[in-house]
């Protein structure tokens, strides 16, 4: 039987490309001079897509270009780049890469929280710029005695909570529903969580259902000593409201790994001394990205070998 034909719209790691080429007929769309013409020539035979956020939005119109499409294997735990509901309507399975990046993202979230509170990047610049000789670096806020709210207590949210337990801070959470067997206090709304917290760590998926979940009202509830940490998706936070809250002292600071219009970051945020900014590196270690790539390959292999996906997203999971 001929190998299944897989389309990769945008480049992925060399080892992912090599593994897919060893098992499938792989079409590298990004290498084509006439991408539209190339798509028209191969679309009827494409049975799988291997995509990342670099591929752009995989929406219903994109899915409809491939009449034989069976599976979309997405690189990343978040999959708001793929219209999973549209895929489900068409009988197409969508997979993501959960689990393998939980610890890496949780580590980064805690590191970003500490860097924001203790002003670690600012202190580094203070030394590099030779200002230490002129006097001590200003005292910073502390994590001691803080109440940390986790917005989204999924697998990564729980991994963050486990790490923060070791710091002796109070932890609460908000999610779509109260979770059985979770000892942390549950708050009914994001605003209630913010009002009960000094720090809010955002760890919910992106998409229309969570767009601007963190809004001006929630930021006001967090208060002037409050700190917002976002390691999920930029769309979850109303960036205009956040800039205003940081500018006028509604909240005390923020640590951001994600933004609404990446890689563009508002000039106002770049100029703020009470903000730590990272270039969306939550899972960006060699080991974790390699594990994510292997799971993309493994999902496609399992599907075409055994007719099952290893990590289908809920919208396209059987039953």
- Catalytic residue numbers, as ranges: 233, 262, 280
Cα 26 → chain centroid: 27
Contact 283, 257 (CB under 8 A): no
Location of structure tokens 């929406």: 59
Please list, residue by residue across 108-134, b when 16 or more beta carbons sit within 10 angstroms of its beta carbon and e when fewer do: bbbbbbebbbebeebeeebeeeeeeee
Residue among 304, 307, 300 nearest 16 (CA) = 300
Q: Which two tokens stand for residue 318?
A: 């059987």
Q: Which two tokens stand for residue 43?
A: 């679309």
Cis ω on the peptide bond leading into residue 197 (within 30° of 0)? no
Contact 47, 5 (CB under 8 A): yes
Contact 147, 156 (CB under 8 A): no
């Amino acid at each position: 039987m001929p190998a299944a034909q897989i389309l990769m719209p945008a480049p992925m790691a060399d080892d992912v490309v090599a593994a897919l080429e060893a098992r499938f007929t792989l079409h590298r769309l990004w290498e084509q001079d006439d991408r539209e013409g190339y798509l028209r020539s191969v679309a009827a035979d494409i049975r799988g897509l291997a995509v990342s956020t670099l591929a752009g939005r995989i929406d219903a119109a994109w899915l409809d270009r491939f009449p034989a499409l069976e599976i979309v294997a997405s690189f990343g735990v978040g999959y708001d780049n793929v219209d999973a509901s549209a895929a489900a309507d068409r009988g197409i399975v969508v997979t993501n890469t959960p689990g393998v990046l939980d610890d890496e993202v949780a580590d980064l979230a805690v590191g970003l929280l500490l860097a924001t509170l203790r002003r670690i990047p600012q202190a580094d610049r203070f030394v590099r710029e030779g200002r230490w000789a002129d006097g001590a670096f200003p005292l910073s806020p502390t994590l001691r005695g803080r109440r940390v709210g986790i917005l989204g207590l999924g697998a990564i949210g729980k991994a963050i909570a486990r790490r923060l337990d070791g710091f002796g801070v109070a932890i609460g959470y908000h999610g779509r529903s109260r979770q059985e067997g979770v000892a942390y206090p549950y708050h009914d709304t994001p605003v209630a969580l913010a009002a009960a917290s000094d720090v809010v760590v955002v760890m919910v998926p992106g998409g229309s259902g969570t767009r601007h979940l963190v809004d001006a009202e929630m930021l006001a509830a967090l208060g002037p000593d409050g700190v917002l940490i976002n390691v999920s998706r930029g769309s979850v936070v109303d960036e205009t409201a956040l800039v205003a809250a940081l500018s006028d002292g509604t909240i005390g600071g923020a640590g951001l790994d994600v933004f609404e219009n990446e890689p563009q970051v508002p000039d106002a945020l770049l100029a703020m001394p009470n903000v730590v900014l990272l270039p969306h590196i939550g899972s960006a270690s060699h080991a974790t990205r390699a594990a994510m790539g292997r799971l993309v390959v493994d999902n496609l292999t399992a599907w075409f070998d055994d007719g099952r996906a290893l990590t289908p997203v809920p919208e396209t999971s059987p039953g």
